[in-house]
Amino acid sequence: MTSNKIIALLPYQQPFLFVDELTEISENGIIGNYTFKNEEYFYQGHFKDNPITPGVILTEVMAQIGVVCLGVYLMRNEISIENKTKIALTSQAVDFYLPVFPGDKVTVVSEKEYFRFNKLKCSVKIINEDKKLVCRGVIAGMITYN
């Protein structure tokens, strides 16, 4: 399954799609990236005259690339355009170390901890273009389709 097909099967659309490309995909993990556009809606007012990407958005980027994209890949034989993906976040714990600003490109690196009974749990981190750790954590979710 190609990265473009995985992205097409995601249950998100603009302005809430935070996946630009997937660069590595395997049964054990995934790597992808996203570049924050200067005009992202959440920069309005976060923070006044000093826009910084909210932590909840960074967590969403980690979840979309690190859990949902990997889950779509792992369930590639069951999921299709006709069988829409449904996602439920079941848990997350994330630590934040560096800010992300408008225009920054981040890379998400996710390693599968387990996948059983359609529940996927991953260790996920974001690194910036300087190869510095932005945040890391563990995210789990249920992936289903209809």
Determine whether 54 is an active site residue.
no
Please give the single-letter amino acid code of residue 124. Answer: V
Among the options 12, 29, 46, 128, which is catalytic?
Answer: 46
Q: Are 124 and 89 in contact (CB under 8 A)?
A: no
CA angle 134, 70, 92 (to 5 degrees): 50
For residue 15, CA distances in Å to 7, 40, 57, 71, 83 come to 14, 8, 12, 22, 23
Catalytic residue IDs? 46
